[in-house]
Structures are given as C-alpha cells and as structure tokens.
Chains A and B, each alone.
Chain A
Amino acid sequence: MDYRTVLTTCAYCGCGCGLYLEVLDGRVVNTIPCKTTPVNEGKLCVKGWNIHEFIHSPNRLTRPLIRKNGALTEASWEEALDYTAGRLWEIKEKHGSDSLAFLASAKVTNEENYLIQKFARAAVGTNNVDHCARL
C-alpha cells in the first residue's frame, strides 16, 4: 500500500492554483485544493477539481498522429516534426508569414511560452501569437 499526497500546481490555466494529488499505488485518484497556497487558499474551479482525471484517461494522446488519407495514423516524433516543419515552411513560402498563427499554452512553462513567441516572431516573422484560451 502506497498512498501519497503530492503538492503540485494546476496545469489548466495560468493562475497557478496549488493542489494535492492523491496517488494510490501509483495511480492518481483524486484532487484536494491546498489551503495554504496564497493564489487559491483552498479553492479551485471545476477544472482544477477534476485535474486528476486526464492523467490516466484512455482518451489521452500518447503518440503523435498524422492525418493520412483522411484517417489519423500513428507516427514517430521524427516523422511528425518533419511533416509539421515542412508544411509550415510551405505555407509561409506560398502565402506569407501572416498566414500562420501560433497559440501559446497555459499548460506549459513561461520559458516554453517565451520560445513559441520567439519562434513565431523571429523564425516565422509574424506577430500572430495568442493564448490557448481563445482557441
């Protein structure tokens, strides 16, 4: 029997609410808001309360998928990255930089968000950067 309460930060949005994940025998089974984290003081929104659910969800993507002949097909990271980079290049060449847009994410770190806007502005040449909440 191994039951742990692990303090972490909610990954759904940028607020940064503190919560405990209850982990029973290696599976995350529940969420409890942390009372002493100043951002949320023991409160959460409906998404935060259910954040443990996506961790073991069978619907979760675990491999890259590429649509081939209309059907999503599993691909290696190498293939997926090559394909994405190739298409981005093609679209930019054909329609210009501003035909592309980049959506940053609340689920990743500040540094990763910095990188995506840098990539958009410096590598692709567009200011079309927005937040995942407007997806």
Chain B
Amino acid sequence: MNEKVKAKVKELLASGRIKGFWGLRTMQGNIGPFLFSSPDDLDELVVGDRERPGDTRYPLNKLLVNLARCYPEEVFGVLVRGCDERGLKTLYSWNQLNPEKVVPVGIACPQELAEACECLKPFPDEFVAGEKAEGSEFVSVANVESLSLESRLEHWLDQFAKCIKCYGCRDICPVCFCKECTLEKDDFIHTGDLPPENPIFHLTRAVHMAGRCIDCGLCNEACPADIPLRTLYKKVADIIDEEFHYRPGYGDPKEKSPLNILGEAPKH
C-alpha cells in the first residue's frame, strides 16, 4: 500500500503538479501528519495502519484547510480514504476549499476497517492502492434503537455525563470550521459546568453536524471519555437522509447541504 502511494506522490511532486503533499510519516517512532514537499522525503511515508488498519488516522483535510487559507494560490495533494474524500467534497460544497487547488491521492480501506467503522463507502471514487471492501450497516445505531425510549435516553444521559468538555470532538473534526462555536457561547449552553449541560451540549453539536458529518469517526477516537459520538452522528445522518435524501460527501460537491438552502419543509 505504502509503495503505491509513494510512487504516486513522487510523480506529483517531481512534475511540479503539487507544491506539497499532506500525508502521514513515521517520526521519532511515532506516526503523525506531515507535509511532504520533496520527492526525497518519501521514504518514511505511511498510510496510517500501524498495528491495525487505520489505527493512526489524522484529520489531514483540516491541516490542508489551514494551509490553503494562507496559500490560496498553491495546489496541494492529500492522502484520502473514503471518509476523507467525503470530507473534501463537503468542504468544497461549504466553500472552505477550492477543488482546483487540491489533488487527492486515494486508498481503499480493508474489510476489517470498513466493519469496525460501520462505513457505507470504505473507498474514495478513485484510489491508487487497496481493494474495494463492502460497505457496512450502522449496527451500533440499530443496537441503541433496540432499547426502549426510556432506556435510550438513560443510555445517552449516562454517556454524556462522562464528558470532560475538552472540545476535542470539535477540534479534531475535519468539517468543523466555524469561526465562532455555539459550544462556547454562554447564551446557549452553561459553559462553566462540568460535565457541560447535559444533554444540550451534545445535542447541540449533533444538530450542528447534521448535513455536515462525513462519518470519519475521528471525534470518537479523540474522546477521552469514550463517548460513542460516532453512533450519535450516524443517527443524525440517517435522519437527514430520510428527510432530505442527502448524505454529505457522497454526491456531487456542487450540491448544497439541504440545511444551507431555504426550501420546502418536510411534510409531516
């Protein structure tokens, strides 16, 4: 997998097509995000499968957005899995990135990862390495839904009560790009409390992820309290799909989020 990605990136850098490539690199025994700017640096490039597939993924799109804001004229490459590509498309549709300035280099995730992620599309439209795995159902959502309404509420209230309000779920999220965040506004949420106002803090974030969350699971992995955030946002995505027939990142990036346009309200 690594070699095929390296060959592709080498070609892009050598031809001058891209100014730099956001990928992952082994550095001092750890794996982290790295901006490759010379074909000679590529020896240490990895795709983020350390002990298990996809166990060292980082929000490369987020780093790309930060860089593109400072260097809007340059073209950058970025390593993408299926979810990262959904992230790119969503960022294009929200005008946070210019698709003409981004060259994605895709990899497909193995079946094991697709199932662990409960991922509907574990591969980008185009990829240079890996093989297409089958998409997987949202088993975790079905499990929570099998509980009675009362126990479901209890389940979530118990989970949210563990929150240490680190804002890591927001800070790591590739599609959280707002300059001002409701989660920090005392007018909406009692920000001085710990755990933060339950369940308003979490439901606010969940609602803000509607039409935006591309189901990468990075928030879940960053949560020190092990709150199953991904399951919550998967459910939100299902609702948006049912109501508006829209899933962020799966369709044409020119399509706007239904929550970004004034249209007809759902009829019920």
Interface residues of A (CB under 8 A from B): 1, 3-5, 7, 18, 20, 22, 24-25, 29-30, 32-37, 40, 42-46, 48-49
**Stretch with Cβ within 8 A of A (4 or more), from B2-10, B85-93, B166-174, B255-263:** B166-174
**How many A-B residue contacts, CB cutoff 8 Å?**
81
Contact partners of A40 in chain B: CB under 8 A: 224
Q: Beyond A5-B33, A5-B35, A44-B222: 7 further Cβ-contacts under 8 Å?
A: A1-B19, A1-B20, A1-B71, A18-B30, A33-B168, A36-B31, A43-B168
Q: How far is the CB of B199 from chain A (nearest CB, A)?
A: 20
Interface residues of B (CB under 8 A from A): 19-20, 27-35, 37, 50, 55-59, 63, 66-67, 70-71, 74, 164-168, 171-172, 221-224
Q: Give CA–CA (A61, B20) in the complex, Å.
A: 36
Establish whether residues B222 and A24, one from each chain, have CB atoms under 8 Å apart when the complex forms: no
Q: Give CA–CA (A113, B56) in the complex, Å.
A: 34
Contact partners of A1 in chain B: CB under 8 A: 19-20, 37, 71, 74
Q: How far is the CB of A8 from chain B (nearest CB, A)?
A: 10
Q: How far is the CB of A15 from chain B (nearest CB, A)?
A: 11
Of B31, B32, B34, B66, the contact of A30 (CB 8 Å cutoff)? B66
The 7 closest A-B pairs by CB, nearest first: A43-B224, A36-B30, A3-B35, A46-B166, A35-B56, A20-B32, A45-B166
Q: How far is the CB of B34 from chain A (nearest CB, A)?
A: 6
Establish whether residues B222 and A42, one from each chain, have CB atoms under 8 Å apart when the complex forms: yes
